[in-house]
A and B are shown apart, each in its own frame.
Chain A
């Protein structure tokens, strides 16, 4: 298959199939409904199943059930829908089940609006569910990267026996770009017989598997959470991904930005360069784990006077940026959160105020 022109939402659906995921449960919501539209046609051709749940709460437990029997499974939703799934996600973290959740973020809080947003950053990285609950969170900036991250999310979820979230803003779902898929599935699903409740007659073991998130004994629950913590710590060691842009120069300011917002910043950086002002950028591709070390190191560069977190929210990632920079440089926030994406000109104007 050569390059094709796809909407982000379609590419996300196709990527899941190519990652060997044939189970998709979802409930429609703008701006990601095209994933369901696409897969309702495409999944049956590929031998898979699409079932629309009666609500996002129901969907989250369909995902839990399919994951519990060892199937590759995923869902897509947008902000309010992810909030409804939050209970099921927490249960899955507690039960150590792999699955992929895609959030194509829209404005909030509440129903908010249908235009692009990145205001679910804190939810995705710190508050996705009750309890000591974390998800590995991947943040694509293009349709191609959205497809690649969805494909990579399944083996990552299986590696950690933990759900993975792909966090895209509305533009990632709605815009069209050329995309190319690898022909074959990169990773075969691993054998899940040692934990999945996949039926005694299908495996060579007499051990009964039990999946649960209820631990009434405080010592056992404490140990369980310590085990989960170990997984989160391992993610921090092994899964941090980021992209540096224009950081080989003696930049006067450092931008931290992710998703489509980072592409606006890239245009702004190119224009500023033409005006004689160098600005570097670190683009987190994982927002949990967060590329703290890379940001600290980039901020420490002698030429760098200030750091800015530029995001489509009222200032959420900026908390992680401040934490990473450790007070070594001033950190400020710039962004919008009504659905309008800041323009390159607005970014340029802001950057000039901090250097």
Chain B
């Protein structure tokens, strides 16, 4: 069974708590939409994480024709909160789809408030990525807390949810189904639409997709430690 297609356009901000999987989702979502014929641009706005950022996938993304807004090359490994002017430019002219990958928690989302001028009067969607197998987002109240903290720090409103239940290589099909049920409940209680959930491409054939009412984004993992190979795109 083919999964439903993800419908997203304009400015889409990917937010959530630390380690919820925002960057892996941004990379895979960009590729998914690009393959669907959408012109995609990606901004790495993660000013809080020192490792495993969107910028690690810059060669892959640019090879696929996905435009990436990053700090200048010589500052890519700097431990500094560098905000490239390309990003406000991208917000002003988002094209078909501009994905903005922000850092974790309220600390990571604070940077959005500094872009208020660029966002002024523009439509955007801000999605909260939830991995219920992470501490602090394993309860509905925990996720709602994170939502409030991110909204307060970003001075923006979260408009939807992305379910990203996983234990990386140790994820089981049951984890995906339980994770789906969890974000469905979060969606019902918060009134926020569930945009899609994720599952690794290796796990997809084992999942009963009839059980899942929303689109499923297949994840080909790109942010891997040095002893593992990234999934082939």
**A interface residues (Cβ-Cβ under 8 A, vs B):** 3-7, 10, 14, 30-31, 34, 37, 41, 113-116, 170-171, 174-178, 260, 263-264, 266-267, 339, 341-344
Assess whether B51 is in contact with A176, with CB atoms less than 8 Å apart.
no
A35 → B minimal CB distance (Å): 12
Cα–Cα distance between A344 and B170 once the two chains are bound (Å): 22
B14 → A minimal CB distance (Å): 17
**B interface residues (Cβ-Cβ under 8 A, vs A):** 18-19, 49-52, 77, 79, 107, 131, 133-136, 138, 166-168, 170, 225-228
Cα–Cα distance between A178 and B168 once the two chains are bound (Å): 7
Cα–Cα distance between A264 and B226 once the two chains are bound (Å): 7
Chain A residues within 8 Å of B225, by CB: 171, 175, 260, 263
Chain B residues within 8 Å of A3, by CB: 133, 167, 170
Chain A residues within 8 Å of B138, by CB: 4
B109 → A minimal CB distance (Å): 14
Assess whether B50 is in contact with A31, with CB atoms less than 8 Å apart.
yes
Nearest to A342 among chain B residues (CB) is: B226
Assess whether A174 is in contact with B134, with CB atoms less than 8 Å apart.
no
Q: Given A174-B51, A339-B77, decide whether A263 and B19 contact each other with a Cβ distance below 8 A.
A: no
Cα–Cα distance between A178 and B134 once the two chains are bound (Å): 9
Cα–Cα distance between A170 and B166 once the two chains are bound (Å): 23
Nearest to A170 among chain B residues (CB) is: B51
Assess whether B134 is in contact with A4, with CB atoms less than 8 Å apart.
yes
Assess whether B227 is in contact with A30, with CB atoms less than 8 Å apart.
no
Q: Given A31-B50, A31-B51, A341-B226, decide whether A177 and B168 contact each other with a Cβ distance below 8 A.
A: yes
Cα–Cα distance between A316 and B107 once the two chains are bound (Å): 38
B58 → A minimal CB distance (Å): 16
Assess whether A115 is in contact with B168, with CB atoms less than 8 Å apart.
no
Among the listed B79, B134, B166, B170, which residue makes an inter-chain contact with A30, where contact means beta carbons less than 8 Å apart? Answer: B79
Going nearest first, the 7 A-B pairs with the smallest beta carbon separation are A341-B226, A174-B51, A178-B167, A267-B227, A263-B227, A264-B227, A114-B79
Among the listed A6, A113, A114, A266, which residue makes an inter-chain contact with B135, where contact means beta carbons less than 8 Å apart? Answer: A6
Among the listed A5, A30, A114, A342, which residue makes an inter-chain contact with B167, where contact means beta carbons less than 8 Å apart? Answer: A5
Assess whether A4 is in contact with B133, with CB atoms less than 8 Å apart.
yes
Chain A residues within 8 Å of B134, by CB: 4-6
Among the listed A5, A31, A339, A344, which residue makes an inter-chain contact with B227, where contact means beta carbons less than 8 Å apart? Answer: A344
Among the listed A5, A14, A170, A171, which residue makes an inter-chain contact with B168, where contact means beta carbons less than 8 Å apart? Answer: A5
Candidate in B134, B136, B170, B227 with the most chain A CB atoms within 10 angstroms: B227
Among the listed B18, B166, B227, which residue makes an inter-chain contact with A266, where contact means beta carbons less than 8 Å apart? Answer: B227
Assess whether B18 is in contact with A34, with CB atoms less than 8 Å apart.
yes
Nearest to A171 among chain B residues (CB) is: B225
Cα–Cα distance between A339 and B50 once the two chains are bound (Å): 12
Nearest to A11 among chain B residues (CB) is: B135
Assess whether A174 is in contact with B52, with CB atoms less than 8 Å apart.
yes
A355 → B minimal CB distance (Å): 21
Cα–Cα distance between A266 and B227 once the two chains are bound (Å): 8
Cα–Cα distance between A264 and B228 once the two chains are bound (Å): 8
Q: Given A343-B226, A344-B227, decide whether A174 and B50 contact each other with a Cβ distance below 8 A.
A: yes
Chain B residues within 8 Å of A10, by CB: 18-19, 135
Assess whether B166 is in contact with A5, with CB atoms less than 8 Å apart.
yes
Chain A residues within 8 Å of B49, by CB: 174
B129 → A minimal CB distance (Å): 13
Cα–Cα distance between A222 and B79 once the two chains are bound (Å): 46
Assess whether B50 is in contact with A114, with CB atoms less than 8 Å apart.
yes
